Amino acid sequence: MFTSKSQPHKIWRRLTSVLVPGLLTLGLVSYTAEATKTTTQAVNKTLITNGNTTISNSNQAELSELQVSKLNATLLPISPSLVAQASNKNRQGIKTNVLRMGYQQAGDLVRITGVLEKRLEPLGVKVEWAQFAQGPQLMEAMNVGRIDLGSVGETPPIFAQAAGAPIVYVVGSQRTANSGKGSAIAVPPDSPIKSVRDLKGKTVVFQRGSASHYFILRALEEVGLKPNDIKIQSIPNVEASSAFLEGKIPVWVTGDPHLARAEKLGKVRIIRNAQGLDTPGSYYVGLRKFAIDNPTLLRIVIEEIDKIQRWAQANPKETAKLVGQHQKLPPDVMDLVLSRRSYGLRAITPELIREQQRIADYFHKNGVIPKRINIQEATLTQQQYATITPPSISRR
């Protein structure tokens, strides 16, 4: 009796010793294959950067197989706790599940291409976008905690800091030969105004606290005029554009794509563009707490911005078509916009901070902001910048 009952028991033990590890292996291979598929889709056939190691898609698949082999050797089942541990490891330096990005009316190639969504989805981070007329409105939203990160010119963060906003400079933009070409002091074609000197006593329209604010003050200074020599009317570009085209605005300080559109319609004469202006350029600015809590996330965002800008610079025709479709602008307008657009990021360095401090001091000297601000108070430590700034980003 004992022998006849034990024989099936032995057979069952042998079967389970063979089948169970095999089933575990199949489950693990299936899980890893799905993870690899998700990762491959997320990077969109680009490079995957993990810390200081860059792995191609093909190597990623090989690495996954190696991981499977090692795990099979230990015959460990896939438990929820192991998955959670792996997920937590991938999310080190990421405390948020939602990245709230702000962009201006002129559009944002990062948003249009969806590169952040593709990269962050596997990490469990959703991207939300909010559109603003110009930089001052974007900074106001950041000040009240509506967004985490956004791109603005050199002026809006100065005004935001003066108002007590808890912001930090995340990464800057490179200055190139094209910098300033897409911004101008413009008048109607038949205007009697021929030069910046002729602006004395005239009404000049621009968004107060925007990059145009610094531009017009410096342009006036160059010809010996002062801020109180003109009458300032603050109107965002998106609202001023139609009024200018209808001949209701005598002088307009604006930028692309509004400027390019007016040029192609033959409705504008430029009396001075911002080329050669002594400005450090634009920045990505973020909420301080967000930046401190999410260094890994910021590094990923900077990497993706850098990649898409490099692609746009190398593919102007494709970029013009892509952006033009979203902004509903004619091809000739987009060609003009891109012909004078600057690309490239610049790391936040002590030199760049000094440049931005000079702009802030200029506004204070001219009575535009009520008190002197210290730009250093709106920065991270050099160690923190080293963590969030990829080595591919220029330091000049």
The more confident residue out of 59 and 303 is 303
The answer to whether residue 127 scores a pLDDT higher than 80 is yes
At 366-387, the pLDDT tens digits run 999 999 999 999 999 999 999 9
Q: Is 98 left (phi over 0), alpha (psi -120 to 50) or beta?
A: beta
Query: Considering only CA atoms, which of 157, 149, 128 is closest in space to residue 302?
Result: 149
Query: Dmax of the chain from CA atoms?
Result: 116
Structure pTM?
Answer: 0.76
Q: What is the pLDDT of residue 52?
A: 34
Q: Which of 83-92, 162-171, 335-344 has the lowest mean pLDDT?
A: 83-92
How far, in Å, CA of 293 to CA of 193, rounded? Answer: 52
Q: What residues contact 308, with CB distance under 8 A and at least 6 apart?
A: 109, 110, 113, 115
**Contact by Cβ (8 Å): 26, 77:** no
Per the CB < 8 A criterion, the answer to whether 117 and 127 are in contact is: yes
> For the segment 256-302, what is each residue's pLDDT rounded down to a tens digit?
999 999 999 999 999 999 998 889 999 999 999 999 999 999 999 99
pLDDT tier at 106 (50, 70, 90 boundaries)?
low
User: Is the separation of the CB atoms in 366 and 329 below 8 Å?
Assistant: no
Digit-coded pLDDT (tens) for 89-102: 567 889 999 999 99
The residue ranking higher by pLDDT, 138 or 28, is: 138
- Percent pLDDT > 70 in the chain is 77
Cα–Cα distance between 369 and 114 in angstroms, integer? Answer: 37
